[in-house]
Structures are given as structure tokens and as C-alpha cells.
Structure 1
Amino acid sequence: MIRKAMLAGLTTVFLVVSSLSVAAVPNPFSGTIENAQLLGSLQLDGELFHVQGLEIKEDTIWVTSVDNDNHRGYIHEFDRLTGKLRRRLELTDGARYHPGGISFSQGSIWVPVAEMRPDSTAVLVEIDAASLKVRRKIHVADHLGCVAAMAGKLVAGNWDSKLFYVFDLASDTPERIVPNPTQTHYQDMKFVDGHLVAGGNLTWLSGAVDWIEWPSMKLKRTLQAGAVGPVRPFGRGGPYTGEGMAIDGRDLFVVPEDGPSRMFHFKLTS
């Protein structure tokens, strides 16, 4: 009887919270990713925790995840064909154990590793993609949760990506700090053909992929994204674009689930 009462109570709480979430979105997008066709998914066969970032290059997949229970952060390397784990590197740096969205440029993977709270500290870590050895660290007096890299430049978003820190790699000091032109809480972003392509969540149930013109930082295009599976914190799912995202031409890849995780492959249709 007590067990049934507890289950009934939990169910009621879930329904109430779910209804509040839905109420926060008057017209939630009901599909997966707007103007995109789902081609399939790949099971990532290796221990992952709370997924944060995704990057793909040729036959390799990199994923960052944070072990919240033990305050540890990692970057994991997978085989793109089989999904098998090849190796991983711990990124924990004292109180900084939250690795965010990642970006590949000129043989390096850039990863922000931050304290698990806003208005804190972070390091932007440059990792050699071949050896997984750390090349460089840039210390920043704010939480940074994602980074995009291209030749000589970095753009990093802080907590909920309310601000973008723009770096010239000739210096460890940001050359400018720019407000986010959208309401999207970016988790991962990349430089693609003169734009920042950034994905993140708007609510528990919805997210977006945005194209932001570089260097003006003006929003040019948005694709809506729905949810996959039960919504956190009650289940493993969330918005498709709520965590790791990578893009290659018209191919869009997302890892919206905590471990055990799948990488979903979409083809942009327009």
C-alpha cells in the first residue's frame, strides 16, 4: 500500500512538472529536427556519463562527458564505423570538472573545462587530436560551456551562452565579449562556412540549431528541434540539440542522451 501510494505520488509530481514544462512552450515543436531527415543512429559502446560535447573528423568521434557523482570530466574517443571506445582522457582540473561543447581545428581539439556553477572559472584546453596530450591552457574568469575554433580564433559561450568570449590565439585575453543574439542555451557550436552553427536547448522539451553570421554575430537561420525519449531529470532524453552536436556539410550529428548514448545522424533537407 505504501509503495503504491509513493508511486502514485511520484506519478503526480511527474505529470505536474511535465505540464508546467509544456505550459512554458505554447506551441512546442513536435518533430525531431526541422528540415532534417533522420538517417540512423550509432550506439556508442563505452562508458559515458552526462554528455556535453561532440566532434567528428574522418573516422573518429570525440565526446565529452561529466561524471557528476564523482566530480570528474572526460573526453572519450570512439571509432566512427563501429562506435567502439578507443581511449579517454580525464580533464578534471581541481574544482573545474565540467567539460563542455568541443571543436576541432588544425589538428587540435579545444575543450572548455569549468566549475559546475555560473560566474566561476574555466580553462580552454587545447588537446592534440593524435596523441590526446594537452598543448595549451587559457584561463578565463567565467564558466565556459562551449567553444568553436578555427585558424587563429576561438569563440566560447558562458553559462547558458548568454555571452560569447572571442579570442585571438595570439593572446590569452578575450578581444571582445558579445551578447548572445538568441535565447538558445548553446551546448555545442562550430565554425562552418563563415557562420557559427550552434545547437542547444530552449526548454526541457525543445531546442534549436542556429546559424550566426561571423563576425557580425547576427542570427541568420534557425531550425527547431523536439525531444528524444523521456525528458530529464526523470529520464535519459531531452531536446535533440540539448547536448553534443557536430556538423559536416549537410550532415548533422547529435548525442542527446547520457550514457549509454547513441549518436543520431540527420541530413539537412534545406
Structure 2
Amino acid sequence: MIPSKYPVISLLLLLANFGLGFSQEAKEIMRKADEKMRGKTSEAEMVIRTTRPTWSREMGVKTWMKGNEFAMILIQSPAKDKGTVFLKRKKEVWNWLPTVERTIKLPPSMMSQSWMGTDFTNDDLVKESSVLEDYTHSILGDTTVGSRESYVLQLIPKPETALVWGKLIVVIDKKDYLELHTRFYDEDGFLVNTMTAYDFQEMDGRLIPTRFEMIPQDKKNQKTEIIYKSIRFNRPLEDSFFTMDQMRKLN
């Protein structure tokens, strides 16, 4: 009697669905963490502090974001950068330079470059890529950060996407879905940057990290911090706000 092949097929389907379930669960965890800091809309004021071995500087920044498709970033200080604006509309990113009154469209090749001389890339700040749609998600395990029990997720770029990072390892708190720690790897699997969240406070009715520290792996005594001064979530913000005309008017 020839054994039936159907139990084998059923087992393969079961394993495939099992893996798919874990992938969907991992994506849902990432979605909750992303929504925690983003909301449907957000308007924030922050300080970005860049530290180098021989100098440091601070920028005052205001941001407006709507979902995953729209973002506006206005530099308020120092004086030499005041009025510089970055605009994201879906997959397009624009930069307004008031000193020369010129608008520049940033090509995808510039997304991996430093944003305003910091340790964040253009993509990290402007979010051209989507942590939800452009990556495949999986759960690697559990860990504890301080007293917070957390998930460890791995994000791998989808084959059809050309992204800055080759892999992300993200630690997310199980209770409040706070993104506590992220490691950024290049395409060869080498660690490039590590971002850690600190100073958890309630702002506009939700608990969030109010300071993020990005440290490059191979550069001593170098880091960039983002410190939130205020943030408001889920206030009305029209798509029409995110235009090049509005970008110039912010000045």
C-alpha cells in the first residue's frame, strides 16, 4: 500500500500557517508600538542634541505627522538652520532651504545619509520607509529591560524594497507597547547604530519615552539625543497641510 501524501501536505500547511500566525502577531506588536508614538496624528516640539568628541550642538525642532504617509519637520534653531523644512508625502521627501529659497527633492539614495549632521539618517527622521509595510516581522523571544517584560522582534526588509537597513532588532514592552531598544544592522549583518529609550512620562494622556539616544557602534564619544518637550496626539490635521506651499509658509 502506498502511503498517502496528503498527511504530509497537511503538516506542511499547518507549519506554514503556524509561522504565518507568528509573523502576524509580531507585526501587530510592532503596529501597537508604532501607533503609541505616532497616533493618527501628532504635533511635537523637541530638542535634538548632537554630541561629538570636541563639540556639541542643539536644534529646536517642531514636527507634524499624520499616519505613515505625511510628515513635516521644521527647524526652529539655531539661527543658521532656522526655517529649514523637510516634507514627506507618501514616498516622496522634499527639503526647503530658506537661505537660498530653494526646494530640493531627496532621492531614495539620500535616505541613508545623516540627517542634519546627527547620528540619525534621513529615513530615521522622515520615515520614508514603513516599519509596518516594508519589513517582514518575527518574534525572536522575550527579555526584561529594567522591570519591563518585553518582546524581541526581528524586522527583515521585504525582497522588493530598497531600504536603508539590512535588519532591525526591536525590543518592545509587553504591557505598554513602548519601543525600548532598537539595533540597526547593515546589509552585511554588522551592527551600525543602537537606539535606547529613556525618561518615560505621560504626555497628552499616554505614557511614552521622552528621550531617545542614538549611539553609533564604531564611533567613540559620539551620540545624538531626541528630547520631547511636548507632544499632542490625534488632533485634526488635514492632508492639505502637507504641501510644498505650506512648507514655505512655515517660515
Q: With structure 1 as the length reference, what TM-score do the two structures score?
A: 0.36
Structure with larger Rg: 2
Which structure carries more helix by proportion? 2
- Which structure shows the higher strand fraction? 1
